Amino acid sequence: MNFRPKILAILCNWCSYAGADLAGVSRFQYPPTTRVIRVMCSTRVEPSFVIKAFLKGVDGVLVGGCHLGDCHYVTGNYYTIGKMKIARKLLQYAGVNVERLRLEWISASEGEKFANVVTDFTKKLTELGPFKDELKNDLALKAAYYASLKPRIRILAAKEKMLTTQGNKYGEIYTEYEFDRIADEIVYDEINEEMIRILLQQKELTLEEISEKTGIDKNIVFLYVMDLIKRGEVEFKEKEGIFLFSHCKGEKS
């Protein structure tokens, strides 16, 4: 009954942050649930920032930027859309309700809109309840964070606009459906691999144990583990007829 959500608002310097400042100067009323981080442009907000915020215990993340076409850096906020799209995919695979991440365009003159957005977002998060109660196991969320730092995920997040409007270096333009399909496959692959890596850094496990802890089919786990062995990240040994897999000693955790 007394739950008050904690919201991290990451706002661009030129518009959304100024809008928040105007809301305060104008004495617009909104819940004291938000803590603000100011960045020079909303495109500076990487998926890893969002996921780390949830790992640190926030209940929701609000990303604010200039209206499309009004970005101080011309096209910066168009790239924000792609980054938040990938952030949502990572969160969704990790079992997080994507409504806990909100992207809004708020200009410097829209102090009232900022107050309304915070009020509405607070109401939604109150309905969803505490994030810590929603997340029963943080393994997938930790894996999503590490996956968000991987080159394939970072390229997807940064190149969504280019690939769907201008095309790749061969001039091939991806439809939204094609981009989403490729992005889903890459996110699925990277998070699965990171979950296995995290578990094997902690202790020796059998394929069955890895499958049980990750929810990944045993046969698929086998393929991931074999790939990690080829890369020199995982080793195995046989004990009483059972194969045990572990992270290679000397490898960075």
Q: Given a cut of 60, is residue 253 above it in pLDDT?
A: no
Quote the CA–CA distance of 235 and 229 in Å, as a whole number: 6
* Cα separation values, 172 from 53, 83, 154, 181, 232, Å: 36, 21, 20, 16, 36
pLDDT for res 1: 60
Average the pLDDT over 135-159 and give the result.
94
Which residue has better confidence, 137 or 144? Answer: 144
Q: Given a cut of 70, is residue 13 above it in pLDDT?
A: yes
The 10s digit of each residue's pLDDT in 195-239 is 999 999 999 999 999 999 999 999 999 999 999 999 999 999 998
Q: Given a cut of 90, is residue 137 above it in pLDDT?
A: no
Pick the most confident of 140-154, 158-172, 227-241: 140-154
Query: Is the pTM of the predicted complex or chain greater than 0.75?
Result: yes
pLDDT for res 252: 47
Sign of CA dihedral 36, 37, 43, 48: negative
- Of 9-13, 94-98, 169-173, least confident by mean pLDDT is 169-173
* Cα separation values, 182 from 23, 169, 178, Å: 41, 17, 6
> Hunting for tokens 């910066």 — which residue is that?
76
